[in-house]
Amino acid sequence: MLRATTLGTGPVVDTVTLDYDARFRRRVSLTGDGGLAFLLDLPAARELREGDSLLLEDGKTVTVRAAPEDLMEARADTPMALARTAWHIGNRHLPCEIHADCLRLRWDHVIAEMLTGQGCVVQRVTAPFQPEGGAYGHGRTHSHD
């Protein structure tokens, strides 16, 4: 089985579509959307983002795609209200994708009620999820290195 041990560039031979949880990996057998089976075998767990290219041992690549997921978008009347909402989300350590006019999170009816209580309009959507990384590093990290 071919192995992908790093990110890199090369001719694209397949794509692999993964949800947010599946895009944080170190070692796992994967099958591309076109049927190519390969082993992801990275030196350390890392965040895989939409558009990353996994370099296979033969010099070819598999492109990472973010799968559509069950999400919600929170919108507020003013930028200040949206910033305040972002603070409440961060205070709960929830993964959040930040846009100029909305915040996107995984669907959770309890959090949706909390956001509505903060004055936001919450809409359920299906879309790829690419939340912000950690403040002190890239991806899902709490490291302060």
SS3 of residue 17 by DSSP: strand
Residues 50 and 6 in one domain: yes
CATH code of the domain covering residue 58: 2.60.260.20
Backbone angles phi, psi at 81, to 5 degrees: -65, -35
The domain of 45 spans 2-66
Residues 100 and 62 in one domain: no
The per-residue pLDDT for range 83-116, each reduced to its tens digit, is 999 999 999 999 999 999 999 999 999 999 999 9
Total domain count for the chain?
2
pLDDT of residue 142: 46
Q: Which of residues 66, 85, 104 is at a domain's end? A: 66
Residues 11 and 49 in one domain: yes
pTM, entire model: 0.84
141 located within any domain: no
Query: What number of other Cβ atoms are within 10 A of residue 6's Cβ?
Result: 12
